[in-house]
Amino acid sequence: MKRLLTSIFVFLALSVPAQAAGFDETINTATAPIAKFIGQIVFFKIPVGEAALPLVVLWLVIGAVFFTFYMGFINIRGFKHAIELVRGDYANPKDAGEVSHFQALATAVSGTVGIGNIGGVAVAVTVGGAGATFWLIMAGFLGMSTKFVECTLGVKYRTENPDGSVSGGPMYYLDKGFAERGMAGFGKFIGTFYAIGIFIGALGIGNMFQSNQAFVQFVNVTGGEAGSWFADKGWLFGLVMAVIVGSVIIGGIKSIAKVTEKIVPFMAIFYCIFALMVIFMNFDAIPQAVSNIFSGAMTGEGVAGGALGALIIGFQRAVFSNEAGIGSASIAHSAVRTNEPVTEGVVSLLEPFIDTIIICTITAMVIGTAQVADPSFAGEAKGIAMTSAAFERQISWFPIPLAFAAMLFAFSTMISWSYYGLKGWTYLFGEGQTMDRLYKLIFCIFVALGCMVKLGPILDISDALVFLICVPNILGLYFLAPIVKREMDSYFARIKSGEIKKYKHS
């Protein structure tokens, strides 16, 4: 009897870890400490009462507030003009066939509208309460000014390569902008710092986080954590995803990317329409949900650190979603054909507006109204699974199209970011087939890795890396802001005097 018990015990002891330690688990345990270590360095926190304020969040908020005031609330002043520019009112017919304002904006938006808009918002609401939504919107509003500065500089200091293609983005404006201010050495240093940041950072926000959440939603619709055959096969899903991404960025199968680029904008509209439907299906819960957002923002009820805690979370997730302060979008924006860099800055204002103030807020309302109707609607679900549960309450089949949308968003964001990362890489190592391939290969490996690791460590790594990019970028923006202000004032003066005329609608 005793021997039997012992043998059963031994058997169990051996089999339990053997069962649990699938391939995914092994990868997970290996990366967790690394994530934690990076997180600790970058997320140095200042204790403020009960809340802890990560230094980098403070860095971004101060930057966004400063630019909003310094540029005289360009986020409000420039809004109408932004729409006129996108509509093509000021487009010179002679430039037909070049990159239009609309195209630059659409591409940059496809890069930013990703899983963060669906899953990231759920994370914000879970950790920061309903009040986080208020700060999320606020961050989007202030972020518009940061974006304006970044994208104006992106166009102003882009490099036109001998072959006629264009390279732009923070590494170029930091480099050239500082040189213009007589600080060439520092410009080189900070440009390099940024380039390193973006090619590593691309592996987090634009890669692992995306593939991870796409996988989570995929498992969710194929039977959930317990029932899905795929639940412990993240490596398989990751491998497939990596092969598809690889076939586009390494194999050069552009048609896949082209199709995605064309579907994503429609997907985003489709998502918003259904989200609005769900919100109105919870009609009774709307007033309560809205009031929760405001009261939560002021009191921070039930949130670690109170109102300040909610604020921190809101800002953190907003930046993750709209990328204001990260400088990535200015890489895409810099391709536009214009003699006035300010016009592209003005157009880019719309990006945080669409991404955060519209799409994120809609997601937050879907979750918020569901919470009012049934506080425990999501059970244990976190991230995108929580958003999915909120939709499922009203439209039972929606998780499936949501999974499809999530995968497309993830895919287009990954394609865009692979390019952003590559631009940082080529800034450092120059244009070269072999080195390009190497980077793209690393990128694909991280796509697969993202599906094997749990959300927690992924968020830690991604956040840490993203904020690493903000440090050199925003530091540079402070120095270069006077140049932008000068250009902005001159541009708007010429609009007013009629020197710059509309070609259409006049």
Partner 1 sequence: MSNTYLVAVDGSAGSLRAAEYAAERAKASKSKIILAYVIEWSPYSFHTPEELAERHKRREEEIERAQTTVLGPISKSVKDAGLDVEVSVHHGNPSETLADIAQEKGATQIFIGRKGESRISSLLFGSVAGSLVQTSPVPVTVVP
Residue with tokens 């805690």: 309
Cβ closest to partner 1, residue 336 vs residue 471: 336
Radius of gyration of the chain (CA): 23
Considering only the stretches 18-26, 50-58, 161-169, 318-326, report the one whose residues sit in contact with partner 1 under the rule CB under 8 A. 161-169
**Rule CB under 8 A: is residue 431 a binding residue for partner 1?**
no
Phi, psi of 320 (to 5 degrees): -60, -35
Considering only the stretches 88-96, 189-197, 352-360, 454-462, report the one whose residues sit in contact with partner 1 under the rule CB under 8 A. 88-96
Per CB under 8 A, the list member of 18, 20, 47, 164 interacting with partner 1 is 164
Cβ closest to partner 1, residue 61 vs residue 336: 336
- Give the pairing of strands 51-54 and 159-160: unpaired
Compute the least distance from the CB of residue 248 to partner 1, in Å.
9
Cβ closest to partner 1, residue 104 vs residue 313: 104
Compute the least distance from the CB of residue 263 to partner 1, in Å.
9
Asked whether the beta carbons of 344 and 99 are under 8 A apart, the reply is: no
**Rule CB under 8 A: is residue 440 a binding residue for partner 1?**
no
Per CB under 8 A, the list member of 27, 53, 64, 91 interacting with partner 1 is 91
Cβ closest to partner 1, residue 278 vs residue 444: 444
CA distances for 266 relative to 113, 177, 248, 296, angstroms: 12, 38, 21, 33
Q: How far apart are CA 165 and CA 419, in angstroms?
A: 14
Q: How far apart are CA 75 and CA 139, in angstroms?
A: 12
DSSP 271-339: HHHHHHHHHHHTGGGHHHHHHHHHHHHHH-TTSTTHHHHHHHHHHHHHHHHH-TTT--HHHHHTT---S
Residue with tokens 């230094």: 55
Per CB under 8 A, the list member of 10, 46, 96, 273 interacting with partner 1 is 96
Per CB under 8 A, the list member of 58, 83, 106, 373 interacting with partner 1 is 106
**Rule CB under 8 A: is residue 210 a binding residue for partner 1?**
no
DSSP 70-115: HTTSHHHHTHHHHHHHHHTTT--GGGTTSPPHHHHHHHHHHHHSSH
DSSP 441-497: HHHHHHHHHHHHS-HHHHHHHHHHHHHHHHHHHHHHHHHHHHHHHHHHHHHHHHHHH
Q: Tokens representing 282?
A: 């919870």
**Rule CB under 8 A: is residue 222 a binding residue for partner 1?**
no
**Rule CB under 8 A: is residue 410 a binding residue for partner 1?**
no
Q: How far apart are CA 9 and CA 2, in angstroms?
A: 10
**Rule CB under 8 A: is residue 504 a binding residue for partner 1?**
no
- Binding string to partner 1 for residues 249 to 268, with x set by CB under 8 A, is what? -----x--xx--xx-xx---
Compute the least distance from the CB of residue 326 to partner 1, in Å.
15
Compute the least distance from the CB of residue 193 to partner 1, in Å.
22
Cβ closest to partner 1, residue 160 vs residue 489: 160
Per CB under 8 A, the list member of 141, 148, 419, 492 interacting with partner 1 is 419
Residue 110 burial (CB count, 10 A): 24
Per CB under 8 A, the list member of 43, 72, 167, 222 interacting with partner 1 is 167
- Binding string to partner 1 for residues 303 to 342, with x set by CB under 8 A, is what? ----------------------------xx--xxx-----
Asked whether the beta carbons of 362 and 276 are under 8 A apart, the reply is: yes
Cβ closest to partner 1, residue 98 vs residue 284: 98
The H or E element containing residue 166 is: strand 166-167
Compute the least distance from the CB of residue 274 to partner 1, in Å.
21
Closest CA to 354 of 174, 62, 89, 105: 105
**Rule CB under 8 A: is residue 104 a binding residue for partner 1?**
yes
Cβ closest to partner 1, residue 256 vs residue 495: 256
Beta-ladder partners of 45:
54
Compute the least distance from the CB of residue 419 to partner 1, in Å.
5
**Rule CB under 8 A: is residue 51 a binding residue for partner 1?**
no
Number of residues that bind partner 1 (CB under 8 A): 37
Considering only the stretches 38-46, 65-73, 102-110, 449-457, report the one whose residues sit in contact with partner 1 under the rule CB under 8 A. 102-110
Asked whether the beta carbons of 146 and 320 are under 8 A apart, the reply is: no
Cβ closest to partner 1, residue 376 vs residue 506: 506
Can you give the binding site for partner 1, defined by CB under 8 A? Answer: 88, 91, 93, 96-100, 102-104, 106-107, 110-111, 160, 163-167, 254, 257-258, 261-262, 264-265, 331-332, 335-337, 415-416, 419-420
